[in-house]
């Protein structure tokens, strides 16, 4: 399939050397777009990026969800108690649970590291 898109001159210059890779670039861009827009993964991305920076144990123990993420989690909990979650919301909830599991492991290891010193 062929698609035509109008872009700014600046973007066209940046894309020109990447013409052969445009399908892959669009695919990656769509994955990112869908990850942010559909699953709400962006709030979790902050947590994962924080952990990827290898913070010190005290920083790990102080880690809390952002107010926006906390509000979204509370909204899903309330919706689950009242009318139930959609399939998409259920997948999102599973992502939240998995990241929370990773954070708990990181906090447990951080606490052990602090106690060992």
Residue ranges covered by each domain of the chain:
1-37, 40-116
> Degrees (nearest 5) of the Cα angle 60, 62, 63?
65
Q: What is the pLDDT of residues 60-117, one digit of tens each?
A: 999 998 888 889 899 999 999 999 999 888 988 998 898 899 999 999 999 999 999 8
Residue with tokens 């990773």: 102
Query: How many residues belong to the chain?
Result: 117
What's the chain's average pLDDT?
86
How far apart (Å, rounded) are the C-alpha atoms in residues 36 and 44? 10
Instruction: Check residue 57 and give its pLDDT.
Output: 96
Show the tokens assigned to 25: 């670039």
Instruction: Check residue 40 and give its pLDDT.
Output: 44
| Residue 43 and residue 68 in contact, taking contact as beta carbons nearer than 8 Å | yes
Q: What is the pLDDT of residues 14-37, one digit of tens each?
A: 889 988 888 888 877 776 666 544
Instruction: Check residue 31 and give its pLDDT.
Output: 67
């Amino acid at each position: 399939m062929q698609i035509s898109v109008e872009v700014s001159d600046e973007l066209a210059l940046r894309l020109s050397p990447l013409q052969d890779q445009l399908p892959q670039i669009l695919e990656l861009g769509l994955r990112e777009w869908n990850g942010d827009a559909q699953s709400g993964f962006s709030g979790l991305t902050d947590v994962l990026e924080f952990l990827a920076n290898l913070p010190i144990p005290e920083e790990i123990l102080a880690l809390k969800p952002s107010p926006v993420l906390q509000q979204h989690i509370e909204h899903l909990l309330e919706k689950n108690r009242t009318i139930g979650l959609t399939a998409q919301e259920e997948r999102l909830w599973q992502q939240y649970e998995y990241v929370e599991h990773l954070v708990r492991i990181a906090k447990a290891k951080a606490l052990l590291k602090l106690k060992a010193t």
